[in-house]
Structure 1
């Protein structure tokens, strides 16, 4: 019997990378997994790779009407929600002098607003004793040049984790944050200005990790599973760095 046997879980932004790896792991551990993504083709492919125990709902977490449709699908399935992993988000490089209002709004609407309103909209379907897993980033504390907007958005996520843990403790809902370091995902590769720059970017990121390599999405998923399940039953408001020592050594 898996660690999430009989439970319902939601993973946003689950069409690739950390989100997809986590959705697969949750399903393998017995959960019925709801997944979201903005592109229908990618969402369908992700659902097919997970198997039978999945419900895919196309949507953008920065759009409240899409979140309403997601919650309606969870309600229709029945049983409420036992695990929520707010993973959807993204960002890009821009030095201070080049940041535009559009870039700022897109990043904060997706990362900060998307996380906030995903959790808020899910409150009526979250079962007492549920687990919420937020996804931060080492960028929030690393001071990476030209990555300020993304870093600030992830710092907000960490703050949400503390506040929401305090607000929801009366319902025995635990809120914890996983903090990935450089992780080899399509999203990270997409930060390179051109395909020819991809390897250089990966090499630069790898050079910041004491363990000498980038993380794999499955390694982040392992920690997300720990925070989602009963093995972390005495943890709330905490953060776990999964970064190969990048912020620790």
Structure 2
């Protein structure tokens, strides 16, 4: 198994992406610590992992609360002995954020993703890095989306926020590499099976005056393989990148856009 004897913390584990990544990490042998604000969803995911033979712990943690993030990782280290993997998959409802021209967007609508995503990733990555540098090993994973690199309308503050996370990941990799810690960003494209992307596609479809299905088909047609990535595909790559088999990989943005962006 790729992640045997590893301890992985997944923030936003009550969501579809975080939950799928947590289950994949557990299937690959990791002990997973599920963190988030939706405790019912965390508990449900943990039960699935345990039923499949894995080990999972849950905790109510607001990734924007510095003290809560630090205290939780202290508990993880006391319980498991180390923090080997940190993955941040938090999300926000996108109504009022995407689907509106920047010139028509409220300052609050622009500011919310800018103030939330980079800060949450900073707090969780910083907390993990402090512990990983002490143990001389670890992997910090972030996730963004294709608009971080492309010129896409109606994204508001989301594209700048994702670009900030990618820049943060590179800076962390430069500082943490000498201490045995790797930092990798996963850049995805829209995964239609997630509730958030269903909302997002609906917002963009409404702005263009087309159906949600038509907008999704348009996005899929822009990819080289004519289909958008799935959450399972993202989770499988996350497990591989977090494993020792990717030990030479850091400071990188893994392209998981199905060819929407061709590097």
Counterpart residue number, 1:84:
86
Distance verdict in 2 for CA 1:103–1:76, change over 3 Å: farther
CA contact (8 A) 2:188 2:257 kept: yes
d(CA) in 1 for partners of 2:35 and 2:259? Answer: 31
CA contact (8 A) 2:111 2:157 kept: no
d(CA) in 1 for partners of 2:176 and 2:150? Answer: 29
Residues 64-109 of structure 1 show CA distances to partners (whole Å, capped at 9, x for unaligned) of 2332342233133131101111222344413212322322332123
d(CA) in 2 for partners of 1:98 and 1:43? Answer: 37
For residue 202 of structure 1, report the CA deviation from its aligned partner.
Answer: 2.4
Gap regions ≥5 residues in structure 2:
none
* 2:229 is aligned with 1:215: yes
CA contact (8 A) 2:129 2:181 kept: no
Is the partner of 2:32 in helix, strand or coil?
Answer: strand
Q: What TM-score, normalized by structure 1, do the two folds share?
A: 0.91
CA contact (8 A) 1:33 1:54 kept: yes
User: For 2:68, which of 66, 69, 74 is the aligned residue?
Assistant: 66
Distance verdict in 2 for CA 1:197–1:20, change over 3 Å: farther
d(CA) in 2 for partners of 1:88 and 1:215? Answer: 19
CA contact (8 A) 1:16 1:46 kept: no
Residue pairs, 1:83-232, within 5 angstroms: 83-90=85-92, 91=94, 92-93=97-98, 94-126=100-132, 127-184=135-192, 185-191=194-200, 192-193=202-203, 198-232=212-246
d(CA) in 1 for partners of 2:222 and 2:112? Answer: 27
Q: What TM-score, normalized by structure 2, do the two folds share?
A: 0.86
